[in-house]
Amino acid sequence: MRWSIEGTSLLSGKEFVNVMKLRFNALPCLSRTKRCRDVVKQCRAGCLEDEVLGHVLQRCKRTNHARLRRHDVMVHYLARSLKEKDWNVREVPVFFTSFGRQIPDLVLKREGQAVILDVQVVGQRVDLEDAHAAKRAKYNNQDLHAQIADHPVIVMTALSRIVDAGPKAV
């Protein structure tokens, strides 16, 4: 996180300030603006949870569209980059298996290789190995693999972490 101390030429001054606000849990939300007061701090979107930054970024129905867009931007970036590296890329294909409908983000093929690549954006409190294992378990079934290729299929994840700056227990 050296860039967060020194800044970067890729961000304008205003963007850098907003990144720092996010990093240090200084963005306005009810739990921050009403702290030390005996008032209701539940989410204004009606989620019945305290409005902390972690809730707003990861679970709130009001920000659901932005979360989906963040995920989709990552999927499209990976698809474009992998196509440039001569992979045959299928974005968000639908497969009907004995486990029901399965929709991995990307299915990649090249020279006898087949890969299922699923993207996930997680908060700081989520263990990356656990998130990876859950995705592998979800897509690691022979019914799905048989529909993709007649040789072994590798299941991979692309995990990205966001700053989950919810209140810390004291």
pLDDT of residue 136: 94
Q: Examine the pLDDT at 87 and tell me if it is beyond 60.
A: yes
Indicate whether 166 pLDDT > 70: no
Instruction: Determine the structural domain holding residue 154 and report its residue range.
Output: 65-161
Are 59 and 88 members of one domain?
Answer: no
What SS3 class is residue 102?
strand
How many independent structural domains does the chain possess? 2
Q: Could you tell me if residue 123 is inside a domain?
A: yes
46/30: higher pLDDT: 46
When mean pLDDT is compared over 71-75, 85-89, 129-133, the highest value belongs to 85-89
- Establish if 167 belongs to a structural domain: no
99 with 118, same domain? yes
- C-alpha to C-alpha distance for 124 and 114, rounded to whole angstroms: 31
Does any domain span residue 57? Answer: yes
pLDDT of residue 9: 66
User: Is there a single domain that holds both residue 120 and residue 135?
Assistant: yes
Residues 132 and 105 in one domain: yes
pLDDT at 148 over 90: yes
Whether residue 81 is contained in a domain is answered as: yes
pLDDT (tens digit per residue) in 34-85: 777 787 778 888 888 888 877 777 788 887 787 788 889 999 999 999 999 9
Residue 56 and residue 73 share a domain: no
Its sign, for the CA torsion 60, 168, 127, 119, is positive
Evaluate if pTM is beyond 0.75. Answer: no
40 and 113 assigned to the same domain: no
What is the rounded distance in angstroms from the CA atom of residue 118 to the CA atom of residue 105?
A: 5
The tokens for 137 are: 């378990």
Residues written for the chain: 170
Give the pLDDT band (50/70/90) at residue 8: low
